[in-house]
Amino acid sequence: MSRILPKGAPKGPLSLVYRFYRQVLPEARVQLSAWRTFAAKIPDVELRKQALASIDSKQFHCEGGSVYATADLVNRHVLIPLIVAFQTISDYLDNLCDRSTSLDGQDFRQLHQSMLDAIDPSVVPASYYEFHPENNDNGYLNLLVRTCQTCICLLPSYDKVKERVKLLVGLYCDLQVYKHIDSTLREQALADWWSKYKEEFPNLQWNEFSAATGSTLGVFALFLAAAQKELHVEEANELYKAYFPYIGGVHILLDYLIDQQEDVEGGDLNFCSYYQSPEEAAERIGWIAEEAKQRTSILGDYRFHGMIVEGLQAMYLSDPKVNGQRSVRIARKIIMKHSPISRLFFSIFSKWVRKSH
């Protein structure tokens, strides 16, 4: 097993958490504060509302994503702004589409072109609001795109991961289009989409594949790998296979698991609602988590990426929203039962997650 990350990457939960709280989280919050200041100046009322809401209500997405910088503190000045800017695009567009004045798939596709452009420094930012009812954001989305492009130019091995990053972002954009169109059309659109991939992933259910495409963690892991000067394409490919669909699947299924009550009230699509029972949800998510751990075990940097899986379980299942949902508490008990590292992370993250909401 060859090593991708620097020798100083954290080897255990305590060193990871220490770096995160002391050296990464404060810098991520500085970046978020700057974007919030810019968002507050957006002229269009609706765009400003959604940009601010995406930062205020989903701050922990950017903070959590920045954990990848703990593995390479030397390059955190590149990784943290890149991860925060990219995740901010994702969260902003998710808000625009979730609470949109439009149900137009063409509109959603054009908006999400910004994410594809953000990972390709050779592209000039486009008119992303071409089909959207509101469009005056004072250059907010374009600046986010250019920030990502500038940071990517500083990653010495980006050419080794570029195609895999494009694949992940392309799938992410597909999902956002299909899941946000009219509710009478979206399930069929998702089923048709899944039919193109189900032979490649025979052990997954359609909702699990869809969930996995909604994770940005694989992109962040590849950004981290690309920050290393000596990276082989084969190493990047193994990393990709661990994250998609497994680590990404754990990530988003847990997110949906704890949001079930919210999504029922908001009429939003929830991929965990397609399981027959809390026990089935726990069994399937637990199986995907075990697959994720098996995939990370063959990586040269298995300790770090293995901790990501354990940390995801702890972070989502320590969320206060779990306490009010009996079915989720049942699933939590089953998932956490055989994960001592997750239980350690659980005790640490309980305090942080409460502060982040």
Q: What pLDDT digit, counting tens, does each position of 166-198 carry? A: 999 999 999 999 999 888 899 999 999 999 999
The residues, any chain, with a CB within 8 Å of residue 169's CB and separated by 6 or more, are 115, 116, 119, 219
By CB atoms closer than 10 A (0-12, 13-18, 19+), residue 192 is: exposed
Distance CA 75, CA 98 (A): 34
pLDDT at position 343 over 70: no
Q: What pLDDT digit, counting tens, does each position of 9-42 carry? A: 888 888 888 999 999 999 999 999 999 999 999 9
* 331, 281 Cβ separation under 8 angstroms: yes
* 302, 296 Cβ separation under 8 angstroms: yes
- Per-residue tokens: 76: 């955190």
| Bigger pLDDT: 280 vs 326 | 280
Question: What's the pTM?
Answer: 0.92
Q: What pLDDT digit, counting tens, does each position of 112-125 carry? A: 999 999 999 999 99
Q: What pLDDT digit, counting tens, does each position of 42-51 carry? A: 999 999 999 9
3-state secondary structure of 86: helix
Q: How far is CA 25 from the centre of its chain?
A: 17
Q: What pLDDT digit, counting tens, does each position of 218-271 carry? A: 999 999 999 999 899 999 999 999 999 999 999 999 889 888 888 877 778 899
DSSP label of 33: H
Residue 43: the pLDDT is: 98
Nearest to 176 by CA among 101, 236, 91: 91
Neighbours of 18 (CB within 10 A): 13
Residue 357: the pLDDT is: 44
SS (HEC) of 185-214: HHHHHHHHHHCCCCCCCCCCCHHHHHHHHC
